[in-house]
Structure 1
Amino acid sequence: MLHGVDVSSYNSSYSAQGQDFVFVKATEGRSYINPHQNAQAAKAREAGCVVGFYHFLWPGNIAAQARYFVEKCASVQGDVLICDWERTGAGTYASNAQKDQFLVEVKKLRPSAHRVVLYCNRDFWLNHDTTSYAADGLWIADYVTAGKPRIKAKWLFHQYTDHPLDKDVANFSSKAALKKWAHA
């Protein structure tokens, strides 16, 4: 099992040492850009990590959000692109159809350069998702033992805690296997 972290602007001074992958919040809706994403990604790259960027999805304007994400995130070829599907601060969330549309739009905008992944918590996966569409893979949040999320679906990444920051594991046999998957 591989280890990684996911960071946002709140984690500007995280350490990538000893990690296999780092996922960085890039954008949210159509108005927020993480001002630290370039530095956070550079730190991960320097440590030899696989890098990913995620977009916090809001309801509405899905095609515009997908364009905003791919234009504003600091990704390079081979980075993982992620849809973060959960409740907004206002308690709303994008519909299942909007989540699927966002994943499809990002794959259309970056057809061969990136893997596209869905991030959601266990509640969303079990109680809101109706299609089980996760593009190239599922990143599930379930705060239990690392690598043992309480779902039956195949998952690639598991966020198992948020203390002292978001920690994750990846279901790959080696870092080389993760890099090969990310660059395919």
Structure 2
Amino acid sequence: MSMVKGVDVASYQSTTYSTAGLDFVIVKATQSTNYTNPKMTAQAERARKAGLVVGYYHFLVRGHPKEQAAYFVSKAGERAGDILACDWENNTDGTYATNAEKDTFIKEVKRLRPHCRVVLYCNRSFWTTHDTTSYAGDGLWIADPNRAAGSPNVKHPWTFHQYSISGGMDRNVGNFPNRAALKKWAGGAAPAPPSGAAGTSPSKPNTGGATVGLTAQQVHDAVWKFDQIAAPDTSPTRDTNPNWQAQSWLKDTGNNVRALRAELRDVAAQAQANGKALSALRAQVDALTAQLAGRGSEGET
């Protein structure tokens, strides 16, 4: 089986690494919301000059996945056809992002960069023991150094396989027959409509008769991006769900109704208690009135 070859590099690799025999390079860009690889630009440019497909990855840490996604895309290169990746593994302190945070990060990067493929990198242990949703964005980049190149021990379809470390470099293969196929895949996430081309208009781009195919995930992301409104201040989940879609509107409306019902029950209970107290006071007033009336009658005789 023919496969494309690549490496992934970070700050501890050179900016003059060898590109011989490679088809792609994936460069570490960022980590958390406060680290950027100082060699990122030079390492990416070396791959571009060699005509290779370029990717960037972000080392995801625990907490604030949307903020990390925003930080990542603000630092990584922004070119159609670049691959973006979420690096999901143990941090040096032994902690790691949750499965939900992993999913949120990938979806947010896809929302922010709809023209780029977004994949998940993790080792086989994470995929089999920590993952619960099998969500990997546009592809799974699996690290399994115990298997031969192109034969990772996972049932899920894989896109890239990190199979070894050689010469101080992480070695990878991509599940594509050649570099042209990889480039076509990398550039096919959500291409922008042609601008200024003959026979085109903002409302009806010229597709040349070609059928534009969208994956279920791309349709979901497009709906999420355009079919949403800002949640009002009264939303019970405003902090965690600042934007509303139809489903979240129903959820928050239901929460509001339940909260109002609880308040009404409290008001009704208080009104009932107040009514009992008022009845008791009226009885006391009636008793005092009767006593005063009796004393008045005694005085008259």
Is the pair's TM-score, using the shorter chain for normalization, greater than 0.5?
yes
TM-score by length of 2: 0.60
Larger strand share, 1 or 2: 1
Secondary structure of the structure 2 residue equivalent to 1:101: helix
- Contact 1:3 1:169 (C-alpha < 8 Å) held by counterparts: yes
Larger helix share, 1 or 2: 2
Secondary structure of the structure 2 residue equivalent to 1:58: coil
- Distance in 1 between residues matched to 2:158 and 2:134, nearest whole Å: 11
Counterpart residue number, 1:4? 6
Select 1:69's aligned residue among 67, 72, 75: 72
- Distance in 2 between residues matched to 1:15 and 1:76, nearest whole Å: 23
- Distance in 1 between residues matched to 2:94 and 2:26, nearest whole Å: 24
Counterpart residue number, 1:15? 18
Q: Which moves more between the two structures, 10-19 or 27-36?
A: 10-19
Question: Could you give the per-residue CA deviations for residues 79-128 of structure 1, whole angstroms, max 9, x where no partner exists?
Answer: 000000000000000000000000000001011x2000000000000111
Counterpart residue number, 2:130? 128
Select 1:44's aligned residue among 36, 47, 51: 47
- Distance in 1 between residues matched to 2:98 and 2:29, nearest whole Å: 21
Question: Could you give the per-residue CA deviations for residues 2-48 of structure 1, whole angstroms, max 9, x where no partner exists?
Answer: 10000001112311222000000000001110011111011001111
Counterpart residue number, 2:91? 88
1:124 aligned partner, one-letter code: F
Counterpart residue number, 2:164? 161
Root-mean-square deviation over aligned CA pairs? 0.8
Q: Which runs of 5+ in 1 are unaligned?
A: none
The structure that has the greater radius of gyration is 2
1:77 positional shift: 1.8
Q: Which runs of 5+ in 2 are unaligned?
A: 189-301
Secondary structure of the structure 2 residue equivalent to 1:124: helix
- Contact 1:27 1:54 (C-alpha < 8 Å) held by counterparts: yes
Select 2:143's aligned residue among 118, 141, 144: 141
Select 1:181's aligned residue among 180, 185, 190: 185
- Contact 1:53 1:75 (C-alpha < 8 Å) held by counterparts: no
1:162 positional shift: 1.9
Secondary structure of the structure 1 residue equivalent to 2:56: strand
Greater RCO structure (CA 8 Å; 6+ sep): 1
TM-score by length of 1: 0.97
Secondary structure of the structure 2 residue equivalent to 1:15: coil
Q: How many residues align?
A: 183
Alignment identity in percent?
Answer: 59
